[in-house]
Structure 1
Amino acid sequence: MKILFLGARPDEHPAIESWKAAHPEHTVTVSQQILSTATLPLVDGHDALVIQQVAVPEPEVYEQLAAKGITQMSVRSAGFDMYDLEAATRHGLGITNVPVYSPNAIAEYTVALALNLVRNIPATLARVQQYDFRPAGLIGREIRTMKVAVLGTGRIGMRAAELFAALGAEVVGFDLFPNDAFRAIGTYAESVEEALRGADMVSLHMPATGENHHLLNEQTLALLNPGAYVVNTGRGALVDTTALMAALDSGQLTSAALDVYEFEGPYMFKDLREQGIEDEVFATLLAREDVLNTPHLAFYTHTAVENLVHGGLDNAVAMVENGTCPTLVNPQVSEARTAQDR
């Protein structure tokens, strides 16, 4: 099988090589280019596609991939909101993801960001760089004195909740699919609004869907305790950025830590020191001292990178060989193929 591996980063190459060594029967072509109409010629002559990107492919990409004989798109990430599932299904493209690669990596990063906020670490370091060692204005809070709302208690949210609970926090959660393991460490709320009401911190671990769009907005942020904190290592579209900044200005929020931004596609994983940022809202967000911005790195550990690369390649092989895969996110494709075979 000939596999095209797009959007490759240097840190992924060791994992690619280890997978190739274990699967000598397959050929892997590696490119740092991402999937777009401009890079479609790279697909020619390949049987399978492994991709990872934050940029949204143009609508015509799906039809053109199908015309080239491609039947799948293996996404080496848990999130797949940047891909059009309806268009992919319509053109017979099965999309797979890697839902479990290292929940602990993102959960640890979440709590690290939270601790940076409540102990004023960024402001402290900025002062020290100026040789200002006065403590005034840097007094912090302890996690154990706080009520933390964890929205989304899947594998990542569950692990984050465990870490917050281990630090002594009162943890309240919300999820459309509650699990008993969470009930051992926290309490479920009946709604997002109930979970947020009176919380001192909110940690986001939900997918970006139409129902979750701007989950944190002017109305829901007002439910938090005054002076609360927001940590988002989930998806940027969960937060109304303008409402977030207004809540920071009013004092409803003390600070926020954001590893994701709603319109991050043109910026993440790029060196833009010379070009700058055209998005005025994003530029304003980055300039704020009360917002800790990081470039979509919560997942970024050696363990997670290897699992994502191996999982993506394994899924590509499974889809081409079997026509389906346990991590197929648009199973209608498999069902349609079965019906055609009949």
Structure 2
Amino acid sequence: MDILAFGVQTDERPLMEAAFEGRHDLRCVDVFLTEDTAPIAAGHEAISTSVNADLDGRVLRALAAGGTRMIAQRSTGFNNIDLTAAQRLGLTVARVSSYSPYSVAEFAWTLAMAVNRRVVRASNRTRDFDFRLDGLLGRDLRGRTAGVLGTGRIGEAFTRIAHGFGMNLLGWDLAPNPACEELGMRYVGKEELFAASDVISLHVPLLPGTRHLVDAAALKAMKDDAILVNSSRGGLVDTEALVTELRAGRFTGVGLDVYEAEAGLFFLDKSLEAVDDDTLARLVTFPNVVVTSHQAYYTVDAVTQIIATTVRNIDDYVAGRRSENVLVPPPDDLIAG
């Protein structure tokens, strides 16, 4: 089968080509799937997309008109896909339901430590041979409280690292994770978690009920010297409200690997352009904020697993098999069901 993969990063390309070799004919492009780029997929029954692809109804209609019948997304999240439209158009959609949780959990702690110990500021200074310690004062984590919103596989991995630091553990989720409870985690309401935690990390999916989970009220409830980390989905945080609190001089630090308006920005080189996103422009100017470009998952271990699962999803589609990764089954399955 001929497959077109959108949004393939330079580091990702050789891994994808090796995984697909001898199984399917793969064409990789570095452009992301949008309404403008969808016509590139004409004649390809299956395509693979990245997390920042735009798969709304218009894009899906363009894909279906070009002969695409299967979409294999290389991510766990699927909030960028109009599943109802996909089903109506007879498009099969699959995702990667899981990959290395350590990649994201470790990076979340990387962000937390970077803002806590002022690593970016210190590195920038030493490049100019400025070796002062003024403004670089951090805090021990041992004995402080980590609040984890979402204690699935990634949240559990984050919790294990927090436990290794000797932190007190608070959790919030629909159901407790016994593995986290064994580490000493106490499950509380999110209001108590926001108010009591020194480090708060988000590990929940972006759904209608979790959009702006960290809103103005939640931010005001947090300690003035709290650290907030988001390595999940940008829409979990009300960025405008966050900027307001940062302008008031609050928070030891904020580490963001995701941003609610990142589509069309992240994964791209915008260094020679005027970025018209005023909120992001303000956000990156705060000295206690570190923003990275949705790279928490980006380890050779996780990317290899993501690609392997993507290959299996396409193999399953060709063979007529269905797995837990399928979000929208083939039309025949819908009729049979």
| Percent identical residues | 33
| Gap change, CA 1:226 and 1:339, over 3 Å in 2 | closer
Residue in 2 that maps onto 1:146:
144
AA partner of residue 171 (structure 1)? L
Select between 128-137 and 233-242 the one with higher mean Cα deviation. Answer: 128-137
Partner SS, residue 257 of structure 1: strand
User: Once structures 1 and 2 are overlaid, which stretch shifts more, 299-308 or 129-138?
Assistant: 129-138
Secondary structure of 1:287's counterpart equals coil
* Structure 1: distance between partners of 2:54 and 2:208: 16
AA in 1 matched with 2:8: A
Whether 2:7 is the aligned partner of 1:7: answer: yes
Once residues 33 and 320 of structure 1 are traced to their aligned partners in structure 2, the CA distance between those partners, rounded to angstroms, is 26
1:211 is displaced (CA, Å) by 0.8
Whole-angstrom distance in 2 between the partners of 1:294 and 1:339: 40
Structure-2 separation of matches of 1:130 and 1:12: 34
So what's the TM-score if we normalise by structure 1? Answer: 0.92
* Matched AA of 1:82: N
CA RMSD of aligned residues (A): 2.0
Give SS of 2:284's match.
helix
Partner of 1:101: 99
C-alpha deviation, 1:226, in angstroms: 2.3
Which residue of 326, 338, 341 corresponds with 2:333? 338
Take 1:5 and 1:222, find their aligned partners in 2: how far apart are those partners? 43
* 1:181-330 matched pairs, under 5 angstroms: 181-322=179-320, 324-330=322-328
CA-to-partner distance for each residue in 1:103-141, whole Å, 9 max, x for gaps?
Answer: 111111111111112112222223323333232332210
Three-state SS of the structure 2 residue aligned to 1:38 is: coil
Aligned to 2:90: 92
Q: What is the letter of the counterpart of residue 100 of structure 1?
A: S
| Aligned mates of 2:304, 2:333 — CA distance in 1 | 33
| Equivalent residue letter for 2:127 | Q
Shift of 1:25: 4.2
Q: Secondary structure at the match of 2:268?
A: coil
| Map of 2:131 onto structure 1 | 133
Deviates most, 107-116 or 248-257: 248-257
Structure 1 residue 15, shift from structure 2 partner = 1.3
1:28-67 to 2 correspondences below 5 Å: 28-67=26-65
Q: One-letter code of the match for 1:12?
A: E
Cα distance in 2 between the residues matched to 1:7 and 1:165 = 37
C-alpha separation between the residues in 1 aligned to 2:23 and 2:166? 51
TM-score normalised by structure 2 residue count: 0.93
| Cα deviations by residue, 1:214-248 (Å, 9 ceiling, x for unpaired) | 11122112222221110111111111112112222
The number of residues matched between the two structures is 337
- Give the conservation status (yes or no) of the 8 Å contact 2:176–2:187: no
List gaps (5 residues or longer) in structure 2: none
Which residue of structure 2 lines up, in the alignment, with residue 70 of structure 1?
A: 68
- After superposition, the C-alpha distances for 1:67-111 in whole angstroms (9 at most, x for unaligned) are 444332110111211111221122222321112222111111111
